[in-house]
A = this chain, B = another copy of it.
Amino acid sequence: MSERGLLIVFSGPSGVGKGTVRQEIFSTPDHKFEYSVSMTTRPQRPGEVDGVDYFFRSREEFEDLIRQGQMLEYAEYVGNYYGTPLSYVNETLDKGIDVFLEIEVQGALQVKKKVPDGVFIFLTPPDLEELQDRLVGRGTDSEEVIAKRIERAKEEIALMREYDYAVVNDEVALAAERVKRIIETEHFRVERVIGHYDNMIKATVKR
């Protein structure tokens, strides 16, 4: 079976813990997919590595790539661009390897228009109060920015219905396990394997 890889789009409101869950998924040896590093114009935070956490680029460089049609999706969020370089994604899927995108909600909806058979997973907070606590605890944002993000989170959760799956981030290890299982079981979906079985039926049975 030389099936094309699955495009897995992992998203959710800002502050829900997408990055932490993604790191947990990729820290276990049993994942079988490649992580697509996003590109951003936001400042690098302490401990973040260029080419690992994000490709950190200037606004000018990012806008050049948009003009060249080299972004699968991009969004401007709290004054910065975030996006996914197109060429890497397509090359990897063509090799039969699944690609895992961790992106913001607006970007995910752009990808859905271009790749409707992707697997769209939405990470949700157990509740909105916990999301607020997390944003405060992170200590990187002002009170005003946090208030904006909570309002944005409510708008983003309303967009969940555009996704295939909702995973609650109650515990990082549990959420990571759920995401891995979703990716595993998506490979069993009939529409993804039917070609293989059509061929089996056509082959004559040896008596």
Q: A: which residues have CB within 8 A of B?
A: 122, 124, 127-129, 132, 150, 154, 157-158, 160-161, 163-167, 178, 181-182, 184-185, 188-191, 193-194, 197, 200-201, 203, 205-206
- Inside 8 A of A205's CB, which chain B residues have their CB? 128-129, 132, 150, 154
What's the Cα separation between A150 and B160 when bound, in Å? 45
- Inside 8 A of A122's CB, which chain B residues have their CB? 190
On whether the beta carbons of B185 and A166 are closer than 8 Å, the reply is no
Listed A/B pairs (25) with beta-carbon separation below 8 Å: A124-B197, A129-B206, A132-B205, A154-B205, A157-B197, A157-B200, A157-B201, A158-B201, A160-B190, A161-B190, A161-B191, A163-B190, A164-B189, A164-B190, A165-B185, A165-B189, A165-B190, A166-B193, A167-B188, A178-B184, A178-B185, A178-B188, A181-B181, A181-B184, A185-B185
Q: How far is the CB of A133 from chain B (nearest CB, A)?
A: 11
What's the Cα separation between A42 and B201 when bound, in Å? 29
Shortest 4 CB-CB distances between A and B: which pairs? A165-B188, A185-B185, A182-B185, A128-B205
On whether A194 and B128 interact (CB within 8 A), knowing A178-B185, A181-B184, A185-B178, the answer reads: no
- Inside 8 A of A154's CB, which chain B residues have their CB? 201, 205
- Inside 8 A of A185's CB, which chain B residues have their CB? 165, 178, 181-182, 185
Residue among A127, A154, A164, A197 with max Cβ neighbours from chain B (10 Å): A197
- Inside 8 A of A178's CB, which chain B residues have their CB? 184-185, 188
Using CB atoms, name the residue of chain B closest to A198.
B158
Q: How far is the CB of A206 from chain B (nearest CB, A)?
A: 6
Residue among A160, A165, A167, A181 with max Cβ neighbours from chain B (10 Å): A165
